[in-house]
A = this chain, B = another copy of it.
Amino acid sequence: MKYQSFVSPHTQFYQLTEPFQLESGDYLEQVQVAYRSWGTLNAAGDNAVLICHALTGNADADDWWAPLFGPGCSFDPTTDFILCSNVLGSCYGTTGPTSLDPRTGATYALRFPAITIRDMVHLQAQLLTYLGIRRIKQVVGGSLGGMQVLEWALLYPEWVESIAVIAASGRHSAWCIGLSETQRQAIYADPNWNGGRYNAENLPVNGLAVARMIAMSTYRSWFSFEEKFSRKRQDDLEQPYAIASYLHHQGQKLVERFDANTYIRLTEAMDSHDIGRDRGDYTAILQRIEQPALIVAIESDVLYPPIEQQQLAAGMPRAQLHTLASPHGHDGFLIDMHVLNDVIVTFSRQWELLER
């Protein structure tokens, strides 16, 4: 598994002994979960904090969310047992399209079935059960991570004490689905894609790079690009504008560390996100999320605009909305991390979660 090399040496693995049933009715055999943990689970098993990662993320939350870790911070290993697992369907150690299908002995590729956010959460739940976690003080995540947080609150209400949902919605919008589909089409248009049956020598790198270029623009904002690049030029005949080079670089970085089929299956899972699906009226379902909830919007987020978090917060009985005044767009939760840390710490203190 090529992307194994990106899994940090601190990663632990949990192997399911039973087949894992998906929401679709399909099931997966010999599922493996890659995870990281920080701190120690107490005897009561009630000091866990769960971090859910975003689309191309991994279990190394102390890397990509480093400023949120530390004594007195959102994630404090001196008092809490912090946990982050690579999501189902990803390529960083948890079973996904790059894994071997034990039923065929070959890589799943696009034979890896369609999955949902709920499937991701149920798999995390099996890990938490295995680890002896009785209560989860907080489930926290941004973007795809925030979708998992909402499903955690609904699927395991007795387990979850509080939630923090950042730059996410309760159901994927037409806007997001359209942009997702456009990115998948960029991959499909690559001659190396071959219906997902590509090999390591001929990866659909151009298509995946275009997908990432589209995504990167939607993760940022007019303001952040203007501030950083404006119309800066450079001595490159192919790419005279600095912003174009930047996006190319982002595309190239992703193709070196991420798999195209994985990108397809995970974006499809995001498109399936709808807390109302097969549960009934969306508004009534929102009202069922009774935990203290921090909902963080990012003022300049064009992908999951603040109206989505306003609607979430308005519909949940114990939610409080905080809007980050970040100019960086959707990626603000990975850029303005010190501010985000303060917001989460304040919320947690308020609910006496840290001071019990």
With contact pairs A181-B244, A210-B210, A213-B181 given, residues A225 and B189 touching in the complex (Cβ less than 8 Å): no
Q: How many residues of A contact B (CB 8 A)?
A: 46
With contact pairs A189-B189, A213-B185 given, residues A226 and B175 touching in the complex (Cβ less than 8 Å): yes
Q: Say which residue of B173, B189, B209 sits within 8 Å of A230 (CB atoms).
A: B173
> What's the Cα separation between A123 and B59 when bound, in Å?
58
Q: Which of A233-269 contact B (CB under 8 A)?
A: 239, 241-244, 246-248, 251
CB distance from A164 to the nearest CB of B (A): 23
CB-CB under 8 A from A241, the residues of chain B are 174, 177, 181, 271
> What's the Cα separation between A305 and B221 when bound, in Å?
11
Q: Say which residue of B171, B182, B206 sits within 8 Å of A247 (CB atoms).
A: B182
Is there contact, CB below 8 Å, between A175 and B225? yes
- Copy number in the complex reads 2
Is there contact, CB below 8 Å, between B182 and A274? no
Q: Say which residue of B190, B230, B248, B302 sits within 8 Å of A174 (CB atoms).
A: B230
Is there contact, CB below 8 Å, between B189 and A207? yes
Say yes or no: is A229 at the interface (Cβ < 8 Å to chain B): yes
Say yes or no: is A310 at the interface (Cβ < 8 Å to chain B): no
Q: DSSP class of A's interface residues: helix, strand, loop or mixed?
A: helix
CB-CB under 8 A from A217, the residues of chain B are 175, 178-179, 182
Is there contact, CB below 8 Å, between B174 and A186? no
Say yes or no: is A6 at the interface (Cβ < 8 Å to chain B): no
CB-CB under 8 A from A190, the residues of chain B are 189
Is there contact, CB below 8 Å, between A178 and B209? no
CB 8 Å contact bits of A268-283 with B (1 = contact, 0 = none): 0001001000000000
> What's the Cα separation between A248 and B189 when bound, in Å?
13
Say yes or no: is A7 at the interface (Cβ < 8 Å to chain B): no
Say yes or no: is A288 at the interface (Cβ < 8 Å to chain B): no
> What's the Cα separation between A201 and B177 when bound, in Å?
32
CB distance from A208 to the nearest CB of B (A): 10
CB-CB under 8 A from A232, the residues of chain B are 174
Is there contact, CB below 8 Å, between B222 and A210? no
Is there contact, CB below 8 Å, between A210 and B182? yes
> What's the Cα separation between A175 and B231 when bound, in Å?
10
Is there contact, CB below 8 Å, between A226 and B302? no
Say yes or no: is A154 at the interface (Cβ < 8 Å to chain B): no
CB-CB under 8 A from A248, the residues of chain B are 181, 185
Is there contact, CB below 8 Å, between B210 and A173? no
Is there contact, CB below 8 Å, between B185 and A209? yes
A-B pairs with lowest CB-CB distance, top 5: A174-B225, A191-B191, A174-B229, A189-B206, A181-B244
